[in-house]
Structure 1
Amino acid sequence: MWSHVDRAVRSVAHMAELVAWGRQHARTLVFAMPEAGHPIVVTPRADGCTIRRCMELAHDAEQEARTISNRLTSSHEALRAAGRYGGGLVPFGYRKAPHPSGSGWCLAPDPESAALVRTIIEDVHAGRSLIAIARRLNESRVPVPRDRHAQLQGRPMGGRRHGRDFERFRWTSGTLSKVLRSPSLMGHRTHGGQTVRDESGDPVLIGESLLTNDEFDVLQDALLRRSNGTRSPRRGTTALLTGVAYCSGCDGRMYFAIRKGYPYGDYVCRTTARGEVCPAPAAMRSDWLEGYVLSRYRRVAATDGDVPRERLLRDGVVVTVGKGRSGGAPSRLTGPDTSRLTFTRRARL
């Protein structure tokens, strides 16, 4: 039961699916409609008049949603064009401040994080890797951009990510790269990672810049030399056990790594990429680990069919991998050491 149609669906297509579901499962749909004085009741055998009324209301809800979306989009575009802050995560190095016009908000340098940006850039030019810089920031308990934003808003740091709760988030090389490559360091308003420009093609400014254009260009050249031209758009993973395999040494996710010249790869602990140090980093051949997980899952779930990654994640399957030992007999090449593996499921199948 819903109070209004738009509490259940926001489009005609969704209403059609809901009505079809009700008929398939012999369920009655009820929309209270307090303004009309009487509810709309859609039984599995509802007549065409009732269905048509539901479709009309769903169409109205769809139009309303589209109107609201367009209005919000236009509002944010206007705020960006005027250099005003429209909400959301503040670029690292800045804080929210009253707009000089007296209406709304803009962004101004945050003395604490702006000084930190300068220090990070000095470390980059000194030849330190982003992983090493991230590790130092974590050891010094410096808040990441998301946590710094929470601090400035008077909210607690940390939150939930990948199904885990964190008191505070940690710096990674990826986080640093995103901060250092953002045109917001030059005081530019950005959208989707790109500079917002006015009708004349000039950058829309959010406030005082942290770096001059020349300083920003020098920094980008330094970062580009480090990447050796290997940066490419991020692609979705096709690895079966991403989000399923975890390292027992640090409880962090394991990720697939390609072995050049081999038909298989490895699942490895990537703690260093998060700016941390794992006391016992684990790794295992991908075909061995995937075969083990699929075998255990099929036995528990009593299925012989294909098992995609989405199903493993939905059913809460987790395999924990312990660190292996060096050396050993040739028998170690015949399959996985299952004594290093722990198979569990956190949700009922």
Structure 2
Amino acid sequence: MTTRTDVIPGQPTLTSWATQQRRFRPRRFTPSPEELRFAFYGRMSTIDHQDRASSCRWQRNYAEDLVAGHGRIVVEFFDEGVSRRIAWPDRPQAARLLAAMAEPARGFDAIVVGEYERAFHGQQLEQLTPTLLKHGVQLWLPETHGPVDFDNPRQVALLDLLGVHSQREVSRARHRTTAAMRAQAELQGRHLGGRPPYGYRLVDAGPHPNRAHAAWGRRLHRLEPDPATAPWVRWIFEQRLAGYSVASIARALNDTGIPCPSGADPARNRHRSGHQWMLTTVAAILANPRYTGRQVWNRQRTDHDDIEPDGTISRHHEIQRRNAAPQWVISRQIAHPPLVTEAQFIAAQAIHTAPTPADGAPRRYLLAGLVCCGVCGRIMDSHWVHGRPGYRCRHGHTSSRTKTSPRPKILYIREDHLLDRIRHDRGLHRHQPALRSPDPDKVATYLHTNNMIIVCDHHAWTIESETAVHTLNRHGSGFAATAKIPAQRDGDHAKHEELSRFVWK
């Protein structure tokens, strides 16, 4: 026997019946003021772990309850997969809302959000306030029980507190997530997502250890050598250990017709051309420690660098930067089958195949990697000038980029001038007597061993250790003791500006 679920024409549905069961009570009818037209703004951070319909619905429900009796929502702006840290001009729907706000014939009078943290982070609302006041648009928040009064000190203090709380919530979540991923990589050797390196493929590693995630069907993955590409990874390391340059290895792979990583796995590399091997591709394989069988995490980070503000709203963009090897998280045990031994990988990192000069004479740069540009914070390039070793910084400019104006003047430093100033600085020698040595090799070795760098700009040269900064001068005034600055070798210009406060001129 089957039960029919067809709706009979003319018969009430369950929804219509339930709607009609409301009870009426006497109430005082008063003339309602002119209704406000609201633009609703909402946001959700991820699209993989959140449902757009439910997230938007609960935020909009809060907003509708807030404006009930004052007006109605006439337009909706909802950002999906956008972090709250992203400035409003860089959010797709928020940018549309800002553009609509500036239009004289806009169709709304006020903006309403369902929750402060869904719309703002840090000082974003404070930066958005002048724009709201300029266009005469109100902002309604559940936390203020209605429109925000930017002239009310108590409400302004509340908004500042909400901004700090939103920022703290992000920081706390990031800290917990980072700590958990660090433990999972180091103690469990767990694959934490992302594309498998060339030479490996992902295979099932069983159910997720979290019971809730396992019940939802989530499973772990691990790396396994790919029969088609793993032999070529081994071959690349063998060639490198035999003394071949990265360029010759890439050329041999192209001549043989071996598909490059993006050609071998186009589904995961849609942003790549897949045509041929590049120098950077071979170099990245040789520098990837995961081929030793260890799980390695935190090899790169995402920095949020501030850029020029858009009117009154500060903006930033994300930059991927490589972390130094001491910052890597390496699994204690072998996590997947290795393609090379750890000894082979370490030996490959120590190979440098510099081009041989036309005259056959070797070119040595004693201070390579130790000379840092004080203008932009980059490590200066080794550069042979007039038969002498020197160092050059073009501040990120290359011939493949269009020239921008103004651009900092290219910085050139001669190695012999640097060594001469170090050897003759008496103030420096009182704290670092080993730098008085007339042997340039001993001076360079001492700098390397003690993790010291030389920072140069067009006006001053300084030597920086972990705890002190000294201005190189024939009549120097000695090392200036400072608090330890762990990130002083980060290459960030702002950090070098901070260090300049400790330099003794």
Scaled to the shorter chain, the TM-score interval is 0.5 to 0.7
Which residue does 1:8 correspond to in 2? 119
Which residue does 1:142 correspond to in 2? 259
2:139–2:147: 8 Å Cα contact kept in structure 1? yes
1:138-163 CA deviation, whole Å, 9 max, x = no partner?
Answer: 5636233x665x64xxx35332xxxx
Q: Which amino acid aligns with 1:121?
A: F
3-state SS of paired residue (2:232): helix
Q: TM-score, normalised by structure 1?
A: 0.53
Mark the CA change 1:86 to 1:75 in structure 2 (over 3 Å): closer, same or farther: same
Is the strand fraction higher in 1 or 2? 2
1:147-162 residue pairs with structure 2 within 5 A?
Answer: 151=266, 155=267, 157-159=269-271
1:190-229 residue pairs with structure 2 within 5 A?
Answer: 190-193=296-299, 194=325, 196-197=329-330, 203-221=332-350, 223-224=351-352
Q: How far is 1:21 from its partner?
A: 5.6
Mark the CA change 1:141 to 1:117 in structure 2 (over 3 Å): closer, same or farther: closer
Q: How far is 1:8 from its partner?
A: 3.4
Find out whether 1:184 has 2:184 as its counterpart: no
Which residue does 1:87 correspond to in 2? 193
1:93–1:110: 8 Å Cα contact kept in structure 2? yes
State how far apart, in whole Å, the 1-side matches of 2:369 and 2:166 are: 41
Q: How far is 1:85 from its partner?
A: 0.7
Task: Name which of 157, 162, 186 aligns with 1:57.
Answer: 162
Which residue does 2:32 correspond to in 1? none
2:201–2:224: 8 Å Cα contact kept in structure 1? yes
Is the helix fraction higher in 1 or 2? 1
State how far apart, in whole Å, the 2-side matches of 1:147 and 1:87 are: 21
Q: How far is 1:70 from its partner?
A: 2.0
State how far apart, in whole Å, the 2-side matches of 1:115 and 1:168 are: 19
Kindly tell me the number of residue pairs found equivalent between the two proteins.
240
Q: Which amino acid aligns with 2:155?
A: T
Percent identity between the aligned chains? 18
Which residue does 1:345 correspond to in 2? none
Structure of higher RCO (CA pairs closer than 8 Å, 6+ residues apart)? 1
Mark the CA change 1:236 to 1:263 in structure 2 (over 3 Å): closer, same or farther: closer
State how far apart, in whole Å, the 2-side matches of 1:31 and 1:213 are: 60
1:247-262 residue pairs with structure 2 within 5 A?
Answer: 260-261=385-386
State how far apart, in whole Å, the 2-side matches of 1:57 and 1:308 are: 41
1:120–1:133: 8 Å Cα contact kept in structure 2? yes
Q: Which amino acid aligns with 1:61?
A: S
State how far apart, in whole Å, the 2-side matches of 1:224 and 1:263 are: 18
Mark the CA change 1:174 to 1:50 in structure 2 (over 3 Å): closer, same or farther: same
Mark the CA change 1:234 to 1:135 in structure 2 (over 3 Å): closer, same or farther: farther
Task: Name which of 94, 99, 115 aligns with 2:205.
Answer: 99
2:241–2:347: 8 Å Cα contact kept in structure 1? no
3-state SS of paired residue (2:202): strand
Q: How far is 1:51 from its partner?
A: 2.1
Q: How far is 1:263 from its partner?
A: 12
Larger Rg: 2
Task: Name which of 203, 224, 238 aligns with 1:108.
Answer: 224
1:31-78 CA deviation, whole Å, 9 max, x = no partner?
Answer: 554xx7x875346x5422332332233233223212321221122113
1:1-349 residue pairs with structure 2 within 5 A?
Answer: 2=41, 3=113, 4-11=115-122, 13-19=123-129, 22=132, 25=134, 28=137, 30-31=139-140, 33=142, 40-42=146-148, 45-81=150-186, 82-99=188-205, 103=209, 104-138=220-254, 140=257, 142-144=259-261, 151=266, 155=267, 157-159=269-271, 166-168=272-274, 171-193=277-299, 194=325, 196-197=329-330, 203-221=332-350, 223-224=351-352, 232=369, 260-261=385-386, 307-308=406-407
State how far apart, in whole Å, the 1-side matches of 2:391 and 2:371 are: 23
Mark the CA change 1:226 to 1:192 in structure 2 (over 3 Å): closer, same or farther: farther
Q: How far is 1:268 from its partner?
A: 7.1
| RMSD over aligned Cα atoms | 4.4
State how far apart, in whole Å, the 1-side matches of 2:371 and 2:205 are: 36
1:123–1:133: 8 Å Cα contact kept in structure 2? yes
Structure 1 unmatched runs, 5+: 160-165, 240-255, 271-285, 295-306, 310-349
Q: Which amino acid aligns with 2:117?
A: D
